[in-house]
Amino acid sequence: MADQKKNKRQTRTENPVENECVSFGTGAVRSSTEPRYDLIPYIALDRIAKRFTGSIGPEGPTGGAFKYGEGNWEKGLPTSDVINHTIEHILNWSDAFRESLKNNKGDMNQVWYEMRRHSQEDDDLAGAAFGLIVLMYQEANEFFHDDRFTKPT
């Protein structure tokens, strides 16, 4: 039974770039899929999706699509503002990590616990990832812009 399931699984060549097709144990053939989205850890996708979606707390919407509307970021967040927010999130997380290291004298179990709690309160890592994704989108779509740097006429 296990051999039958194994035979139906996809078999890949050593270098999938050189071989454009993948054969299956059933005899089916399909072009290889590159890039492999299944290699992205679920936790990363989940946390980023939550950042884009936002949430509704006791005082109302707290961010993302719930607060600003779906696709609000696609209207054109100023590039320098996105960079600044991204760096701020990384620095906030880094400061919390360093403070936890200091307070817990290097007890990494306690540091891990505190950082998990920190990310549940305000997910700075997902906030930074959100910013990086927006920057990648702007780069790919030739959409860098910033009114702060427009010359007055």
Q: Show the tokens assigned to 132.
A: 């990086």
Sorted by where each begins, the domain ranges of the chain are 2-37, 40-149
The pLDDT of residue 10 is above 50: no
Q: What is the reported pLDDT for 24?
A: 85
User: pLDDT digits over 122-134, tens only?
Assistant: 999 999 999 999 9
Sequence-separated (6 or more) residues with CB below 8 Å from residue 14: none
User: pLDDT digits over 75-122, tens only?
Assistant: 999 999 999 999 999 999 999 999 999 999 989 999 999 999 999 999
- What's the one-letter identity of residue 77? L
What distance, in Å, lies between the first and last C-alpha atoms of the chain? 75
80 sits in which H/E element: helix 79-103
* pTM check: above 0.85: no
Q: What is the mean pLDDT of residues 25-35?
A: 85
